[in-house]
A and B are shown apart, each in its own frame.
Chain A
């Protein structure tokens, strides 16, 4: 951990190598988070870069007795959520606009064949995640995809533990609802056709 402190100091003075060494381990986790929150590798990379830069720019507020990875992950999570909210706000200003765009929503995914491959299931799941409201999405992704504990999620999102549990619970139920709706639609289609 002492090396961390040293690296932080070096990175804070503008040493890019030191910074790279510092986030060597956590960059993958941060990228994974961004990928699952956005569903697109390109967006994920932009978002992860933004998050890493925010970490870099916040180095001066890092306290040496804190755990660097936890601290960095928390900043990255916030950067990710802020960015998503910002985008959503510009994209989805009105419900009307959304309803018009409704037909192009990613939920209208191709239906998997009967012997659905696991990969397709996961893709379907990823599309369903994108339909969650940003707050629920963040909570579910952090807990279930990234494997954080409820306490860690609460800490990362700066929320009360009960709020987090409730949000995760709602998020999962909603995911379940979206998935079963999709499967029903597919079942109807295949029985009609």
Chain B
């Protein structure tokens, strides 16, 4: 191990990213290399100083005051969303009156409809009854009625009886939905929906692939242009870029400029991107991570369908409500479900976007002379080992999925195999007995005789 490798390893060691063997080698080197020992001490000092930067910071009082004002300004949380669809009480009263009128007027007709297949009819009545208050929601209502599992068999469920959502996955999805309200993902979401089916893999697996590439460059401008061109060529786009540092002066060593790109590449082209980008600068480190979100994805999809069905059912109840109180409680229940639907839809879209477009964090750093890191043989082996392991894990997950689907058939096979095995075993035993019987008895007899 030379000192250049060592410097790299020290960084990884202090980032808790070395295994025991590497740690051992590193410590052995540092034990009798003053330079590297100093290097380690400096990095530890840096980390210590960074910690000091976090001490004793208190938010100014004006922070919460500002927040308070902003809150009072926009009343209830998510009001921006809610206001689109919430009704002022006079409108609710109007809707109630209209609904009652509809019920009274069409009397037995409506009651008959209630008895048979009310679903769409009732929601139309509700829509008509409150036409002006409801107008803003029409788009949404249409959407929910298009849902595949829309209102199969209306059961009259009081708002309070609506089952509470399951918790665990909900927090995951809400979080990721939140994450994706962030910058850059918006355009991806819309563009991906058209692609969702085509890249949705034959097995229906939802795999998110993320890559990270670190490159040293001694020809910064050219390499920067090359990578930008490559992204475009492969149908990708850059969602964010951050540049820092100043160009290296002639003869100056150390770091010059750096460019960090967040790139979205159609997942089909990720491998092409990674292999072709090896021609740009000198790759110091390159890794791919895969995350299988298949289970969460389909779980979320199922729950979304459930909520959409619920929404339609409760919408249908609107027609039966007789008091304003009832209408209000129905409305608040509708609001609650609407949020769930929104959040779940957001999660699905964000997953689609991330499955169809891989994210690459690409980092280009200007150096005087770019040279490959020599220690990477070992590291590359590890990376490839990790990849192999990942694909084994992935493979075995696929296998489990397949296994589950094939269970009935497998059961039959197993029975058949069992029967066959048993038959063979029986035959063999019979054969063996015939063949061995005399031999086995002879020594036994011999023993007895000796005794």
Contacts and interface: CB of A to CB of B under 8 A. Distances in A.
Contact of B177 (A48, A61, A129, A162): A61
A174 B53 CA distance: 17
Number of chain A interface residues as a range: 35 or more
Interface in A17-34: 19-20, 23, 27-28, 30-32
Given A20-B68, A86-B183, A126-B53, A45 B15 contact: no
Interface in A24-68: 27-28, 30-32, 35-36, 41, 45, 48-49, 52-53, 56-66
A78 to B, nearest CB: 6
Interface string A69-87: 0010011001001100110
A92 B54 CA distance: 27
A171 B167 CA distance: 36
A20 B64 contact: yes
A172 B77 contact: no
Interface string A91-116: 01001001100110101000000000
Contact of B178 (A13, A58, A136): A58
B175 A30 contact: no
**Per DSSP, are chain A's interface residues mostly helix, strand or loop, or mixed?**
helix
B182 A82 contact: yes
Contact of A172 (B14, B174, B245): B14
A5 interface: no
Nearest to B7: A173
Given A74-B175, A125-B46, A125-B53, 5 more contacts: A49-B63, A82-B183, A85-B242, A99-B257, A175-B50
Interface of A: 11-14, 16, 19-20, 23, 27-28, 30-32, 35-36, 41, 45, 48-49, 52-53, 56-66, 71, 74-75, 78, 81-82, 85-86, 88-89, 92, 95, 98-99, 102-103, 105, 107, 118, 121-122, 125-126, 129, 131-136, 140, 144-147, 150, 158-160, 162-163, 165-170, 172-181, 184
B188 to A, nearest CB: 14
10 contacts: A14-B76, A31-B63, A45-B63, A58-B178, A61-B178, A102-B247, A122-B49, A129-B53, A135-B361, A166-B285
Interface of B: 11-12, 14-17, 42-43, 46-47, 49-54, 57-60, 62-64, 66-68, 70-72, 75-80, 167-168, 170-171, 174-179, 182-184, 210, 212, 214, 224, 240-247, 254-255, 257-260, 262, 285, 287, 289, 291, 339, 343, 361, 363, 365
Given A45-B63, A58-B178, A136-B260, A53 B70 contact: yes
Nearest to B221: A95
A52 B77 CA distance: 12
Contacts of B63: 27, 31, 45, 48-49, 52
Contacts of A61: 174, 177-178, 339, 343
Given A49-B66, A53-B67, A169-B12, A135 B54 contact: no
A158 B176 contact: yes
A162 B246 contact: no
B49 A125 contact: yes
Given A95-B224, A133-B242, A172 B70 contact: no
B51 A95 contact: no
B67 A52 contact: yes
Nearest to B214: A170
Contact of B11 (A56, A107, A134, A173): A173
Which of A16, A63, A122 has the most B CB atoms < 10 Å from its CB?
A63
Contacts of A41: 60
